[in-house]
Amino acid sequence: MDPTRPSAETIALSGIGGDLGGRIATALVAQGAEVRALVRAGAADRSHPPGVIPVAVDYADPGALGRACEGAACVVSALNGLEPVILEAQGRLLDAAVAAGVPRFIPSDFSLDFTRTRLGDNRNLDLRRSFMARVDRTPIRATSILNGAFADLLTGQAPIVLRTPRRILYWGDADQPLDFTAKDDVARYTAAAALDPEAPRILRIAGDSVTPRALAAIMTDLTGRPYGLWRAGGLGRLGLLIRVARAVTPASDAVFPAWQGMQYLRDMSSGRGQLAPLDNDRYGRMPWRDARAVLGSAP
Give the Cα separation of 19 and 25 in Å (integer). Answer: 10
pTM listed for this prediction = 0.94
Measured CA to CA, the distance from residue 156 to residue 163 in angstroms comes to 9
Under the banding of pLDDT at 50, 70 and 90, the label for residue 7 is very low
The answer as to whether 246 is a domain residue is no
DSSP one-letter string for 195-223: T-TT--SEEE--SEEE-HHHHHHHHHHHH
Provide, rounded to the nearest whole percent, the portion of the chain with pLDDT above 90. 88
Nearest partner of 56 among 71, 41, 67, 66, judged by Cα:
41
Domain at 59, CATH number: 3.40.50.720
State the residue range of the domain holding 77.
10-147+182-206+274-284
**Is position 221 within any domain?**
no
- Tell me if 109 is assigned to some domain: yes
Q: In what order do the strands lie in the sheet with 167-171?
A: 161-162, 167-171, 228-233
Cα–Cα distance, 146 to 299 (Å, whole number) = 28
Is residue 169, in this structure, part of any structural domain at all?
Answer: no
pLDDT tens per residue across span 132-191 = 999 999 999 999 999 999 999 999 888 899 999 999 999 999 999 999 999 999 999 999
| Amino acid sitting at position 134 | R
Total domains in the fold of the chain: 1
Q: Is residue 264 domain-resident?
A: no
Counting Cβ atoms within 10 Å, is residue 182 exposed (0-12), middle (13-18) or buried (19+)?
Answer: buried
DSSP conformation class of 43: -
Is 238 part of any domain? no
